[in-house]
């Protein structure tokens, strides 16, 4: 520790002058938790080299680094470390480790402090599980306290997954924004043990840092969209893109979401024909935009929803969907297939003040939507 000395009116004083100690800043939180792997995301206060230590039930310890092309990730503050070859349905303990790098020269690296975190715990997915609970909400727009309230109302402590279905921020222009908007609150409440799944909304495509948003939700496919099988449940996450046409002036000619939605529609068409998809008992789809709109007046803001309706709705009708959850409209709506001829699956459109919880047990899925006041907005059961 360094000290500064100075004299004032003949009296020498000693002042502890010391830069912030090397520490873990944000996280850890889990991503892409599967039956045989998990990704651990966290940041440090200064650049260093970091790792994750795993402890199995028999006490066996292993250390893991982020590795690419023979090089361990180093001289960075942001860490995403993937660990694979784990056992299914197994509990592990983990902790973080890091060593500060104070100077990085071609032939000499100078290290500073070394730190370790406390132990945390998680369990890998059970491929044979018949029970699964999940929570979904959207459109928090940088309101972590509201997020925390809704997570509590939905019983996040007993949920297996949390889905953030878009627009958790207004835009992305500062690397602290995702943490301050929703990640830090998630870590505080559940994300050290159970993952959240990030569904990109149209607001997360905005801002000068939007092109690096994916690093906060790393996955092995490298895509925002994908399919995740947990026991008998197939979750599908789609990436809606922007709500207005690509040539709309505010995008400055820097978007091509029409082609991107076509890419996803082609992928989804292949997915629903796959054995893995067809063999799942339950099919749940998350997309920030609803599949259609009852209030479309042809305005530019409705372009994205119209694209979803044109390119995806015919596929949705063939996909055997049991539940779809979306947001974007900032008002709650339930699209009931028993009351409509244009849908054959239920759709919950989340508001800015509602949260969905679903509990699947064998051939029954119970769904409950709660409002910010704690009241129940909607309850229903789906049977298979």
Which of residues 85, 105, 123 is at a domain's end?
123
Q: Are residues 186 and 105 in the same domain?
A: no
Residue 251 domain boundaries: 131-383
- Determine, yes or no, domain membership for 353: yes
> pLDDT of 147-206, one tens digit each?
999 999 999 999 999 999 999 999 999 999 999 999 999 999 999 999 999 999 999 999
Residues contacting 368, CB < 8 A, separation 6+: 356, 357, 358, 376, 378, 379
User: Measuring CA to CA, which residue among 289, 296, 331 is closest to residue 312?
Assistant: 289
Q: How confident is the model at residue 19 (pLDDT cuts 50, 70, 90)?
A: low
Q: Are residues 150 and 115 in the same domain?
A: no
> pLDDT of 245-260, one tens digit each?
999 999 999 999 999 9
- Determine, yes or no, domain membership for 11: no
Q: How confident is the model at residue 4 (pLDDT cuts 50, 70, 90)?
A: very low
End-to-end CA distance of the chain: 65
* Average pLDDT score over residue span 311-317: 98
- Determine, yes or no, domain membership for 93: yes
Is the Cβ–Cβ distance between 48 and 36 less than 8 Å? no
Is the Cβ–Cβ distance between 333 and 145 less than 8 Å? no
Q: Are residues 345 and 216 in the same domain?
A: yes
* Average pLDDT score over residue span 68-80: 98
Which of residues 97, 123, 149 is at a domain's end?
123
* Average pLDDT score over residue span 9-27: 65
- Determine, yes or no, domain membership for 67: yes
Q: Are residues 294 and 226 in the same domain?
A: yes
Compute the mean pLDDT over every residue in the chain, rounded to the nearest whole number: 94
Please return the burial class of 140, using the count of CB atoms within 10 Å of its CB with bins 0-12, 13-18 and 19+: buried
pTM for this predicted structure: 0.93
Rounded distance between C-alpha atoms, residue 367 and residue 316, angstroms: 20
Domains of the chain: total: 2
pLDDT at 9 over 50: no
* Average pLDDT score over residue span 95-124: 98
Rounded distance between C-alpha atoms, residue 205 and residue 211, angstroms: 7
pLDDT at 13 over 80: no
Q: Are residues 213 and 360 in the same domain?
A: yes
CA pseudo-torsion sign 158, 379, 165, 129: positive
- Determine, yes or no, domain membership for 65: yes
Please return the burial class of 15, using the count of CB atoms within 10 Å of its CB with bins 0-12, 13-18 and 19+: exposed
* Average pLDDT score over residue span 126-154: 97
- Determine, yes or no, domain membership for 190: yes
Q: Are residues 201 and 220 in the same domain?
A: yes
Give the pLDDT of residue 212: 95
User: 54: domain CATH number?
Assistant: 2.60.40.10
Please return the burial class of 137, using the count of CB atoms within 10 Å of its CB with bins 0-12, 13-18 and 19+: buried
Residues contacting 1, CB < 8 A, separation 6+: 16, 18
- Determine, yes or no, domain membership for 345: yes
- Determine, yes or no, domain membership for 228: yes
């Amino acid at each position: 520790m360094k000290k500064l000395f100075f004299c004032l009116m003949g009296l020498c004083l000693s002042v502890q002058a010391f830069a912030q100690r090397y520490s873990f800043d944000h996280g850890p939180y889990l991503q892409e938790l599967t039956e045989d792997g998990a990704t651990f995301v966290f940041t440090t206060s200064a650049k260093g080299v970091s790792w994750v230590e795993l402890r199995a039930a028999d006490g066996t310890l292993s250390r893991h680094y982020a590795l690419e092309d023979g090089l361990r990730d180093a001289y960075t503050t942001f860490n995403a470390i993937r660990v694979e070859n784990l056992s299914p349905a197994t509990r592990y303990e983990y902790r973080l480790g890091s060593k500060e790098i104070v100077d990085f020269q071609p032939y000499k690296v100078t290290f500073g402090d070394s730190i370790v975190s406390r132990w945390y715990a998680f369990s890998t997915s059970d491929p044979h599980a018949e029970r699964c609970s999940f929570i979904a909400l959207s459109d928090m727009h940088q309101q972590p306290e509201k997020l925390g309230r809704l997570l509590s109302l939905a019983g996040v402590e007993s949920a297996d997954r949390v889905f953030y279905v878009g627009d958790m921020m207004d835009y992305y222009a500062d690397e602290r924004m995702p943490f301050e908007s929703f990640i830090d609150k998630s870590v505080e409440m559940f994300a050290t043990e159970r993952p959240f799944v990030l569904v990109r909304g149209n607001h997360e495509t905005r801002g000068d840092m939007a092109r690096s948003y994916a690093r906060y939700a790393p996955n092995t496919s490298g895509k925002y969209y994908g399919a995740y099988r947990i026991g008998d449940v197939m979750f599908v996450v789609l990436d809606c893109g922007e709500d207005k046409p690509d040539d709309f002036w505010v995008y400055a000619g820097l978007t091509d979401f029409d082609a991107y939605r076509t890419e996803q529609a082609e992928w989804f068409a292949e997915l629903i024909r796959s054995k893995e998809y067809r063999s799942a008992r339950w099919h749940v789809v998350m997309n920030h935009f609803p599949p259609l709109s009852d209030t479309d007046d042809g305005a530019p803001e409705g372009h994205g929803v119209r694209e979803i309706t044109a390119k995806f709705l015919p596929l949705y009708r063939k996909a055997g969907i049991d539940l779809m959850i979306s947001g974007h409209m900032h008002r709650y709506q339930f699209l009931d297939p028993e009351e409509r001829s244009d849908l054959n699956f239920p759709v919950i459109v989340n508001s800015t003040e509602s949260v969905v919880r679903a509990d699947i047990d064998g051939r029954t899925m119970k769904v409950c939507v709660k409002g910010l006041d704690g009241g129940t907005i909607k309850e229903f059961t789906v049977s298979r």
